[in-house]
Each structure stands twice: as C-alpha cells, then as structure tokens.
Structure 1
Amino acid sequence: MGLQAALHLLYPPQCLTCEALVTTDFGLCGPCWRETPFITGLVCDLCGTPLPGEDPGHAVHCDDCLTLARPWARGRAALLYKDNGRCIVLALKHGDRLDLAGPAAGWLRQAAAPILAPDMLVAPVPLHWLRFLRRRYNQAALLSAALARLAGLDHCPDLLTRPRNTRSQEGRSREGRYENMAGAIRPHPRYAARMRGRKVLLVDDVMTSGATLAAAAEACLTAGAAEVSVAILARVAKQP
C-alpha cells in the first residue's frame, strides 16, 4: 500500500479518456462519466438495446430482434455507441489504447451478469489474419480475455477462425451485411471440440446489425455448442 501511495503521488491517476485527475486508477472523471452512455434499466434480452418502461419480470425484445431470427439465446451490451462510448471503442480498436480493455471488460461483466453461466466458454469474434497483422491485436480478444478472467470463466481466444477476408461492413444495408458475412467464420479445427455440449459466450466490441455475431454464433452451433450468448461492449442503437 505504501508503494502504491507513493506511485500515486508521483503519477496521479488520470481519467481514461481526457487525462483529468481522478481518485482511482482506470476511472473516468465526472464530465466523462456523464458523457459515457452506459446502458441501464430494461434492455432487450437478445442484444442489450435499452427499452422504455419497467421490468415486466420476463424477457423482452427490441423491434430488430422481433424481426430477425437471432441464432444466439441471450445478449447484453455495456454502452451505447455514441458520445464517449464511441470514443472509447475507437480508441481501443484503432488507437492502440490496450489499457482500455480492462476497465471496459469490468463494465461488460456488470452488464452481462444476468446471462453468465458457471461452465460458460468465453471466446472473441475473430479477425482475419491480414487485418490482425495490420492492427497487431484483436480488440475483441482483449475484451474476452479480461472478461473471462474477471468472471472466472474458461477462455479460448482461437475458438473460431475467419478464413475469408470480408470487406468492411460500413455503409452496407442490413441485407448486405449478412451477405458479406455468410460463411466467413468457422470453428477452429483444433479447438472446436472444447465447445461441444457447452454454453458459449461470444464477445465483440460493437454490434450494429448483428451479422458478424450471427455468423460466429452459427459456427459455434454447427460445432455442437449447447447454446450461444453474446456480450458486446457497445450497441449501435437509438435511445428509448
């Protein structure tokens, strides 16, 4: 404790996003906290989108999840992809801010608590190897590793592979996103047996249409997973 106090005197804790002084390591200052759209209250049980109203005591779904047949069973998201939530995701994804993975996983663990199961296998949505070389890391794998560690769950970073280098999803329609991801993700032949008969939790940084997560969930179910759930750091959605 003495060493930690001395380090704090020399290097006071700073806000994760604006570098203002804060009281604890890996925290947000007051203004940044207020600008970070954490998802609370009633949410869609499949994708984590916030919904209006009080908890009715049973699972409810958003319009998108009522329209689309999701291949996963349950889902949660920690943030809305807007304001400081968007800044955090982009910094982790493209800004080499690997230090954000730990705090973000803590937020994600809190959001995903209702869908976590004791014997769940945690895995990230995979990157194609060319994109991995350019970025040098998979932000989803950083999140999934930290989340599994915090929740005391088994983690397999290479559970799935992405043999086809899909084009960017940006600017595509919902149908175009699903077509782009069709067959793009497969079980890793070396690790596929680990999910047979088990519940799997897939982790990703952002969910828009759900096409990427759907491809990953279908790959898990094809390999014999008993059930798939998803945990997303940020959900692209409108506020209720």
Structure 2
Amino acid sequence: MGEELTERQRRSWWATLLDLVLPAECAGCGHTGTGDVIEGLCSTCALTLSGPPVLVRHARRPSGLPPVHALAPYREPVADIIVAQKEHNRLDLARPLGRRLARAVLAASPGAAAVWLIPAPSARSSTRRRGQDPVRRMACAAAGEMRVLGHTANVLPALRHQRRVADQVGLTHQERAQNLRGALAVRPAAVWRLTQRPAVLVDDVTTSGATLAEAARAIRADGGRPIGAAVIAATRFSGR
C-alpha cells in the first residue's frame, strides 16, 4: 500500500509541475486553467472515463471475437479525447488514458495471474504520419498501472500487418470483416512468448469488432490464447 501511495503521489506532483510550466487545455472540451486541467483532462471530462468497465455487445458479433470491455460510449467528450491523442499529437494523454484502461484489462482477464497486453497494430504509414503509436503507448501505461496494483502485466507488440487494408471509415460490418480478414500476423519473435501466458487485446475504440476479431484469429493461429479485449470506448455501449 505504501509503495502504491508513493507512486501515485509522484504522478500527482509531476502532473502539477507540468501544469504550472505549460498551459493546460482539456482534450475533451478545450477548457483551460491552471489547476483545473490535470494530465490533459478537466475534472468533468475525466469523470466520463471513471465508471466501471462494461461488456460490449456488438450488433453483429464477429466469429472468434473474445469478450470486449469498454470504459465509455464513443461520443463527446470521449471521442474528442481519443482523436486528440491519435491525430493531434496529445502525447500527454497516453498515461491517463492507459491508467484508466487498466480497469478494462482487469475486467477482461478475471483470475489471470499474468497477462500479455497486445496492442492492435497501426499501419506503418499511420505511425509515420503521427510520429507515434498511440495504442501501444496507452498499453504501456496500462501495464504499468497494473503492476502498481500488484498484477503481472507486460506489453507484447506481437502483431503486424502482412498486407495493406483499406480505410475502415464508412464500411459496413461485412465490409470491415472482409477488409481485415487475414490482414494480421504474429511477429516470429513473439510466437514463443505468446504461449507463456494469456493475452488481452488492447485498442482505443471498437466499432464492429472486426479488428479485434482478426487480432484474436492471428494470435490463436500461432498458439496464443486471447482471453479478452479492452478498449477506451465503444460505438455500441450499453453501460450506465
């Protein structure tokens, strides 16, 4: 307990120092003000991500999709927060989002003594354009939070694209599944590790579930065991 408190105090002091040095703007609503915005979020927007994880019920559940837990519906301000991290270079959001995502990971892996967190891979072109991999950064923060809480968790970037895929925006559920079918593969260096502990897939948003289903298929094909998935938000959300 003492170590956990010390770690949380350290984070709070660091966030406060940054807030004093840099102008803080909430990624969700744009509110500014020293002391009002902590780690990129005002208290109101942070509250939208504070509830318990909810099991997502996809409209047409793709074959092989493991249970998916989400923290919030994909609507404002959560949608703006996710876009800010992914497209607007808000690197300060990876840590607070990842710490919250850890709750969804724990819900997706009940009773597991140790897990791999496997981020959904970004296309190379997207990573180059953004200058970062937001999902992987968020997964690292989630794993760190889980270790603070006494769990064994590490990030394993096991997946890669083995062919080009079209932009998913505007595609139907069936078209998304077809677009992604066979698109992912496990990196050879990760195959042995996958067999050592179960895996929880991590992404920022789930819409049709096609990306997570394809990730799970690729992991199973090389002997891995995807027991669940965790996301920040879902377009189909039946929680509070």
TM-score range (shorter-chain normalised) is: 0.7 to 0.9
Q: Contact (CA 8 Å) 1:13, 1:22: kept in 2 or not?
A: no
Aligned CA distance change for structure 1 residues 215 and 114 (closer, same or farther; 3 Å): same
| 2:192 alignment partner in structure 1 | 193
SS in 1 for 2:236: coil
Residue 111 in 1 paired to residue 104 in 2?
Answer: yes
Aligned partner of 2:68: which letter?
A: G
Matched, 1:136 2:131: yes
Cα distance between partner residues in 1 of 2:19 and 2:123:
43
SS at 1:122 equivalent? strand
| 1:156 paired residue number | 156
Residue segments in structure 2 that go unaligned for 5+ positions in a row: 1-8, 148-152
The 8 Å contact of residues 54 and 238 in structure 2, kept in 1 or not, is answered as no
Q: Which has the higher contact order (CA 8 A, sep 6+)?
A: 2
Q: CA RMSD in A?
A: 2.8
Match of 1:22 in 2: 35
Please tell me the residue identity of whatever aligns with 1:175: Q
User: What residue number does 1:43 align with?
Assistant: 54
Between Structure 1 and Structure 2, the one with more strand by share is 2
* Preserved CA contact (<8 Å) 1:104 1:143: yes
1:24-63 CA-partner distances (Å, limit 9, x unpaired): 74263344346x3x3746832xx3xxxxxxxxxxxxxx36
TM-score normalised by length of structure 1: 0.79
Q: In 2, Cα distance between the equivalents of 1:179 and 1:7?
A: 48
Letter in 1 for 2:89: D
Unpaired segments of 5 or more residues in structure 1?
A: 48-61
1:90 is matched with which residue?
83
Pairing 1:168-179 to 2, within 5 Å after superposition: 168-179=167-178
Which amino acid in 2 is paired with 1:221?
Answer: R
More displaced stretch, 101-110 vs 73-82: 73-82
Q: Give the conservation status (yes or no) of the 8 Å contact 1:13–1:25.
A: no
Q: Deviations over 1:185-240 (max 9, x none)?
A: 10111212110152101111111001111111110111111333111111112556
